[in-house]
Amino acid sequence: FSTAAHPFNETIYALSSGQGKSGVAVIRVSGKDSKLAVYKLLNRTTLLKPRYAYLTSIYNPVTKELLDKGLVLWFPGPNSFTGEDVCEFQVHGGTAIISSILQSLRSLDNFRLARPGEFTKRAFYNKKLDLVEAEGLADLINAETEMQRKQALIQSQGLLSKTYIKWKDELTTALMNFESLFNFENIDETNEAVALKNINNVITRVCEEVTNHLDDGKRGQLLRTGVKTAIIGEPNVGKSSLYNFLCKKKAAIVTPYPGTTRDTLEYYIDLFGYPVILYDTCGIRYRDVNLIEAEGVQVTLDTIKSSELLILVIDAGKYHVWLNHTPNGDMLCYVKDYIINELQVPDIINRGANSLRYLFQKRCLIVLNKIDKIEIPIEGEDLKDVSCISVSTNAGLEQFLNNIKNKLTDICAEPSSENPAITKLRHRNLLETCQDNLNQYLESAENPALDYALLGNNLRCALRSLTEIIEGRRDNRPVNDVLDEIFHNFCIGK
């Protein structure tokens, strides 16, 4: 895991700024022969003063032809992004200029174009950043909304790693103390019991902290990937109208989401800085159970199942609607003499899937649309959980947006530097392994006939999971496919 174990013989270069024409382009060079780029392209015999911007002429090293005039910076290792010697060219961003400089670099001995993420990969191997920080950096570059940017910045600055490093250090000490219990043959039993008790206290606390960290409702992961939100309800209640309002009026469309299905429209939008994957579904007649087998309905049901947030639209003009809270905290939505219970609706559609019940309980916004059609005011003890709107007249839409914002804040929470959330499945899986092993340790430690080998093994496994999160390695061997997957998702030049 040292630089020596990974001798990067080749010097790499790439366009680090965006592709295509631009005002300024940045070309980055990293590796042990980076100084050649300074000598040959600037036609000099000495290096530049480190970390100073030089306005200078840049030449083709073979023909000596002038290519451009630009700023060149020299960062000798290890005080550079990659930890290697780095040279950075800031030139005019024309495509011909860029390609002439890339071509000139290619002509130098041992120089080659960098692969995606290769600069960051070298920085990682040279311990300039850990794997969690590198993943944060990739997310930062890919961030499309404000909250995603905040979360990725927190992670790329090491605030998430900090938690894992703290646990790793605590478990390392605990394991050392545990092992030293057997190295002192004359240790008396009382001392041993006290020492073991201290170790167990540490394990208990770390286990609690890991468990709390895991119990986050996946807020960080949802913020990273987008909150799947489905607009559902009977046909003709105004779902598509509401969908269009959200997509076109109030939300900047970030990208059309790939894989748009036939029966369910989906769009990736930015709502108050939260990324939302919004689905418009085709309607389900909740009272008509026979329709459930219809094909389009199946697609809708799948969308509902995989969504984190549901927006249930009801036609206020069609029904006499009011709402009520039961003593046990369920919300009942009365529609004429028919009761749509938040908890009953999924039963009708899905015949008792518990996960769906949960979604409805926690993650459903109820919208009464077409209030322009009704003359009597909507009755109810407490309408704060419900949005009464008219997409036609725009009535209530601000309040509705505010309700969505609150739900999204509930689901994702604002990224916090003090308490950063898990952002990736890779981390979650390894943390769960860590938690399992700590729990097994604590269980076995209760047993009067202590199995020291087993206990030690549990501690080592827990520790190994944490090490893999931060360093991507197991037992001193980097897990190459993990690293490849992470760095290949970067763009070229980073």
**Binding flag, residue 241, ligand GDP (CB under 6 A):** yes
How many chain residues are in contact with ligand GDP, going by CB under 6 A? Answer: 15
**Binding flag, residue 394, ligand GDP (CB under 6 A):** no
Binds 219: which of ligand GDP, Zn ion, none (CB < 5-8 Å by kind): none
Binds 306: which of ligand GDP, Zn ion, none (CB < 5-8 Å by kind): none
Residues 265-284 that bind ligand GDP (CB under 6 A): 283
The least CB distance from residue 243 to ligand GDP, in Å, is: 7
CA angle 28, 34, 40 (to 5 degrees): 100
**Binding flag, residue 128, ligand GDP (CB under 6 A):** no
**Binding flag, residue 237, ligand GDP (CB under 6 A):** yes
The least CB distance from residue 238 to ligand GDP, in Å, is: 3
Binds 238: which of Zn ion, ligand GDP, none (CB < 5-8 Å by kind): ligand GDP
**Binding flag, residue 436, ligand GDP (CB under 6 A):** no
Q: Which of 40, 239, 426, 427 binds ligand GDP (CB under 6 A)?
A: 239
The least CB distance from residue 350 to ligand GDP, in Å, is: 20
The least CB distance from residue 334 to Zn ion, in Å, is: 25
**Binding flag, residue 35, ligand GDP (CB under 6 A):** no
Phi, psi (deg, nearest 5) at residue 378: -75, 130
* Tokens describing residue 321: 């609607």
* Tokens describing residue 30: 């990293």
Phi, psi (deg, nearest 5) at residue 286: -60, -25
Q: Which of 392, 402, 417, 447 binds ligand GDP (CB under 6 A)?
A: 392
How many chain residues are in contact with Zn ion, going by CB under 5 A? Answer: 2
The least CB distance from residue 229 to Zn ion, in Å, is: 15
Binds 423: which of Zn ion, ligand GDP, none (CB < 5-8 Å by kind): none
With CB under 5 A as the contact rule, which of the stretches 156-164, 232-240, 307-315, 376-384 interacts with Zn ion?
Answer: 232-240
The least CB distance from residue 231 to Zn ion, in Å, is: 9
**Binding flag, residue 200, Zn ion (CB under 5 A):** no
List b or e across 389-400, with b for residues whose CB sees 16 or more CB atoms inside 10 angstroms.
Answer: bbbeeeebbeeb
**Binding flag, residue 391, ligand GDP (CB under 6 A):** yes
Start-to-end Cα distance in the chain: 21
Q: How many CA atoms lie within 13 A of 422 on its CB side?
A: 20
Q: Which of 106, 166, 351, 373 binds ligand GDP (CB under 6 A)?
A: 373
With CB under 5 A as the contact rule, which of the stretches 10-18, 77-85, 236-244, 418-426 interacts with Zn ion?
Answer: 236-244
- β 274-280/331-335 pair status: unpaired
**Binding flag, residue 238, ligand GDP (CB under 6 A):** yes
**Binding flag, residue 240, Zn ion (CB under 5 A):** yes
> Who's near 121: CB < 8 A, 6+ residues apart?
134, 483, 487
**Binding flag, residue 142, Zn ion (CB under 5 A):** no
**Binding flag, residue 390, ligand GDP (CB under 6 A):** yes
**By the criterion CB under 6 A, which residues form the site for ligand GDP?**
235-241, 283, 369-370, 372-373, 390-392
**By the criterion CB under 5 A, which residues form the site for Zn ion?**
239-240
